[in-house]
Amino acid sequence: MTIKVGDKIPSAMLTTMTADGPAPVSTDEFFAGKTVAFFAVPGAYTPTCSAKHLPGFVTHAGDLKAKGADVIACMSVNDVFVMNAWGKDQGADDKVVMLADGNADFTKALGMELDASGFGMGTRAKRFSMIVKDGVVTELNIEDPGAFHVSSADHMLTQL
């Protein structure tokens, strides 16, 4: 079942890179007590994700935070090393938290998995974004296959 507005974020573990190496991130802790502008991409370094999706959030990080986002987070079904390198290449640094869902556990718990095996990519996340306030989804934007609009930073700015 796909998550919907009003639902609590499911408990899962993601991974992020720290100065000390890979570190687990509990979704219960990550989303608690704050407003998170969260978006997911089918794959790091893929064309739309690298040319438009992540760059939009990097560019508009200050605007999103000014409108109430405490944290901006990008997730993909990639390993933490790929997510870290991609974030560095894109200048995400202290603007966007890069989260790896290496086994797609969180993606599946959200009901947002995408079968990209036809492209040799296995299970991935659909392209989507959501605003999560204290662990509860208040806005959810799921892209149609091949589309890029409602999950963009520009669109999320209208929702905060």
Active-site position among 12, 17, 49, 75: 49
Decide if 74 is catalytic: no
Q: Taking CA 82 as the corner, what is the angle to CA 79 and CA 84, rounded to the nearest 5 degrees?
A: 105
Q: Which of 116, 132, 122, 65 is nearest to 94 (CA)?
A: 65
155, exposed or middle or buried, with CB in 10 Å at 0-12, 13-18, 19+? middle
As annotated, the active-site residues are 49
